Amino acid sequence: MLIGKKQDRELVVDNIIRSILNSSRATKRTITLFIDSIFIVSAFWLALIVRLDSFSPLSKLDNWMLLALLVPTSLFAFINLGLYRAVLRYMNAQALWAIVLGTLITTIALVMFAFFIGIEIPRTMPFIFAWLCLLTVGGSRILVRAMIGKLTTANKESVIIYGAGSAGRQLATALGTGPEYYVRAFIDDDNSKQGSIVQGIPVLAFNEIYELVNKGKAKKVLLALPSESRARRKEILSQLEPLSIKVLSIPGMADVVEGKAKLSEFRDVEIEDLLGRDAVAPKPELMAANIKNKVVMVTGAGGSIGSELCRQIVKQKPTKLVLFEVNEFGLYSIEKELCEYIQSHQLQVELIPIMGSVQRINRVETVMMAFGVQTVYHAAAYKHVPLVEHNVVEGVRNNVFGTYYTAKAAVNAKVETFVLISTDKAVRPTNVMGATKRMAELCLQGLAQNKGKSHNTRFCMVRFGNVLGSSGSVVPLFRRQIREGGPITLTHQDITRFFMTIPEAAQLVIQAGAMGKGGDVFVLDMGESVKIKDLASKMIRLSGFEIKDKNNPHGDIEITCTGLRPGEKLYEELLIGDNVGETLHERIMTANEVMLPLAELNVFLEALDIACHNFEHETIRQLLLDAPTGFNPTDGICDLVWNVKQKTDTLSDNNFEEHGKVVNLKN
């Protein structure tokens, strides 16, 4: 019964406080002025009573007259010092200083009024009055602020900030003024900071985070480590992963300063941090070699790699950048983005958006000649393995002949440098996409054999693995599946892939192109391959969920395997042989691999062209097998149109036979 009454009283007090907090600013100021008047009056009488140890001062009219002068003077001083403009919940040192200075002015006014009016007061009474005034006027505000803080934090989500450095402290300040989060603690690896209090928040060692999480006192961990290396961030994430607590990171201070992000904007943990590999700073001389003050053309400019190449190229200040793209929206998007960048940075770069297909040699050649193209980055290709498996002819047309026609056009237009964006799937390919990309490499190697004889175009190829965030990447798919509550779908539990960020890949492509002599195959150092299942597991745990499996049937998100897709490999490779050479860049290697003589290449391409024209998929398959591509298909012909036609032809033959049998019976 007593407990119920106590709770009712607390509820009433809570409602009163909330109603006052939700009232208008003018109402709050009026209430505060009234309360402060009571505090000043109380401090005056208490000072006299305490000093004289008697209630007799209350009966003297002189004291009441002195108080009538003192109260408005004191309030006038506080008002002019800005005390009532300060918001209680955000009260800072300036407001406290206003209280101290206002109390001092009030005390001096008390002494002067008493002197000039001729009212006798004890000498120590003003000092007692000053201390009581500070205690009541200042202390009440501190108390109210604490009560408001308690009310607001009750509705806030409790978080831990990893990192008690400048970024962490700024983040804590920003969160303290917001309605969403309450900082429970800092976690820091610096022993000198552990055990201390920063901005009223305790700094703990990492092992103390377990207690906070297990007791439900923290819901999220915010990484305030913008300057740490990716290797160090990977180490921290590995420590946090077993906790199954949601981990978010804050943007870098450079992005905050440039207005690209806010300090209080949290992001999901970047996959780059999970990989733990720091990007190597590009070499300026290699970046600029084939671009600066030159006319550059990018095919497939609207794609994932092509668009990033364009962003990196613009920074190197070419005279013209030709954006060649078959997709209208992709071309519009990248042109708009680059136009805004050029204008904001006041660059003298002419953008030329051209719609067209690399399969039309006349179109490509005319464009190159019209604008005097000197460097070409060929990124136009079909790259999705299952789609190319299901559309074989178009895959061959675009990836093989599109590359060959673009390269021939470059020769005819006297282009200086031609760089092909290849893939790790071109190494011992098990699918049509990989085989066509290896054929594209052979086309360029064949044309490179005539360098110095019939042309001076320098051809080279750059081979790398998966890039994070590209179209069709598993990372955005996994994020969406986690948001939807799962399951996360894998094709195989043992599948591994190489990963690299799109900007890093684009920079390395540009640098590799600057080192080519003719027919070079450059291979990018992708670091260690990543097991996709491990990547999915880490993303689940760092999102604050548990993996659901037979060992943990009550978990949140399940990982399921759907089976390898047509043509899909378990393991990707970057090199066909072991003959690898070093280059001027530590992340770029060169490979010496099998080439097809130009005469044989032309015969092969002619046969392949005829087979594609006649939709002879068996012949296409055999030609790809006969070429020095290393093609070793894991599946039969998966072309959708061809398979339907095969079924239709089979049914027609069966119907014909059945019809023939019926006729014979009648005869």
Would you state the structure tokens that stand for residue 622, as one six-digit string? Answer: 């055999």
Would you state the structure tokens that stand for residue 18, as one six-digit string? Answer: 């909330």
Query: Computed over its alpha carbons, how large is the radius of gyration of the chain?
Result: 38
Cα angle for residues 97, 101, 106 (degrees, 5° grid)? 145
Would you state the structure tokens that stand for residue 519, as one six-digit string? Answer: 């027919």
Would you state the structure tokens that stand for residue 376, as one six-digit string? Answer: 């070409």
b/e for 239-276, b at 16 or more Cβ within 10 A?
Answer: ebbebbbbbbbbbeeeebeeeebebbebebbbbbbbbb
Q: Which of 294, 425, 538, 548 is catalytic?
A: 425
The alpha carbon of residue 557 and the mean position of all alpha carbons in its chain are separated, in whole angstroms, by 22
Residue type, 446: G
DSSP β-ladder status, 375-378 and 181-187: unpaired
b/e for 62-86, b at 16 or more Cβ within 10 A?
Answer: ebeebbebbbebbbebbeebebbeb
Active site residue 425: yes
Torsion of CA 236, 237, 239, 244, to 10 degrees: 150
626/619 Cα distance (integer angstroms): 10
Burial (0-12, 13-18, 19+ Cβ within 10 Å), 294: buried
Residue 1's pLDDT is: 46
Residue 441's pLDDT is: 92
The answer to whether the pTM exceeds 0.75 is no
Report DSSP letters for 19-65, one per residue.
HHHTS-HHHHHHHHHHHHHHHHHHHHHHHHHHHHTSSGGGG-HHHHH
CB atoms within 10 A of CB 180: 11
SS3 522: strand
The 10s digit of each residue's pLDDT in 265-312 is 565 666 666 665 666 678 888 899 899 999 999 999 998 889 999 999
Residue 442's pLDDT is: 92
**CB–CB of 44/111 below 8 Å?**
no
Supply the DSSP symbol for 355: E
* Low pLDDT (below 50) residues in the chain: 1-2, 257, 662-667
- Would you say the C-alpha torsion 559, 564, 566, 571 has a positive or negative sign? positive
**Largest Cα–Cα separation, the chain:** 145
539/474 Cα distance (integer angstroms): 12
Supply the DSSP symbol for 467: E
**CB–CB of 164/198 below 8 Å?**
yes
DSSP β-ladder status, 220-223 and 157-162: parallel
- Cis geometry, peptide bond prior to residue 487 (ω within 30 degrees of 0): yes
Supply the DSSP symbol for 245: -
Residue 356's pLDDT is: 94
Would you state the structure tokens that stand for residue 314, as one six-digit string? Answer: 């613009």
Beta bridge partners of residue 273, listed in sequence order: none
Which of 305, 314, 311, 324 shows the shortest CA–CA distance to 371?
A: 324
Length of the chain: 667
Would you state the structure tokens that stand for residue 138, as one six-digit string? Answer: 């200042």
DSSP β-ladder status, 496-497 and 530-531: antiparallel
425/431 Cα distance (integer angstroms): 8
DSSP β-ladder status, 295-299 and 375-378: parallel
Burial (0-12, 13-18, 19+ Cβ within 10 Å), 12: exposed
SS3 17: helix
Residue 2's pLDDT is: 47
Residue 433's pLDDT is: 92
DSSP β-ladder status, 181-187 and 201-204: parallel
Residue type, 258: E
Residue type, 294: K
Residue type, 664: N
The 10s digit of each residue's pLDDT in 74-105 is 888 777 777 766 555 555 566 677 777 878 88
The 10s digit of each residue's pLDDT in 221-242 is 888 777 777 677 777 777 777 7
Residue 440's pLDDT is: 94
